[in-house]
Homo-oligomer: A and B are copies of this chain.
Amino acid sequence: MGVRKTRAAETQAALKEAARRQFAERGYLNTKITDITAAAGRATGSFYDHFSSKEELLQALLADMREKARDQIGAGDGHPPHDLTDPDQLREHLAIAWHLMRDYRPVMIALLESAMAAGPGAGEMWRRLIEDTRVLREHLEHLRDTGHRLPGDPELVAAAMGGMLSMLAYALLGGDTRSGRSDDEVIDTLTQLLLYGIAGPGGSGAA
A residues neighboring B (CB under 8 Å) = 24-27, 29-30, 84-85, 90, 109, 112-113, 116-123, 125-126, 129, 140, 143-144, 147-153, 156-157, 159-161, 163-164, 166-168, 170-175, 178-179, 181, 185-186, 188-207
10 residue pairs from A and B, CB less than 8 Å apart: A25-B121, A27-B118, A123-B178, A125-B170, A147-B207, A151-B189, A160-B193, A167-B167, A196-B197, A199-B201
**Pairwise interchain contact A151-B193, C-beta atoms closer than 8 A:** yes
List 6 A-B pairs, minimum CB-CB distance, nearest first. Answer: A27-B119, A152-B189, A120-B174, A163-B167, A151-B192, A164-B164
A118 to B175, CA, bound (A): 12
Q: Which residues of B contact A118 (CB under 8 A)?
A: 27, 30
Nearest CB of B to A140, in Å: 8
Number of copies: 2
**Pairwise interchain contact B149-A206, C-beta atoms closer than 8 A:** yes
Nearest CB of B to A145, in Å: 9
- Which of B112, B152, B159, B200 is in CB contact (< 8 Å) with A192? B152
**Pairwise interchain contact B200-A149, C-beta atoms closer than 8 A:** yes
Closest-by-CB residue of B relative to A174 is: B120
Q: Which residues of B contact A148 (CB under 8 A)?
A: 200, 205-207
- Which of B24, B30, B120, B185 is in CB contact (< 8 Å) with A152? B185
**Pairwise interchain contact B156-A186, C-beta atoms closer than 8 A:** yes
Closest-by-CB residue of B relative to A87 is: B199
**Pairwise interchain contact A119-B26, C-beta atoms closer than 8 A:** yes
**Pairwise interchain contact A185-B156, C-beta atoms closer than 8 A:** yes
Closest-by-CB residue of B relative to A187 is: B152
Q: Please give 13 more A-B residue pairs, beta carbons under 8 A apart, in addition to A125-B171, A157-B189, A195-B199.
A: A27-B118, A85-B200, A122-B174, A123-B174, A129-B171, A144-B207, A147-B207, A148-B205, A149-B205, A151-B196, A160-B164, A164-B167, A194-B198
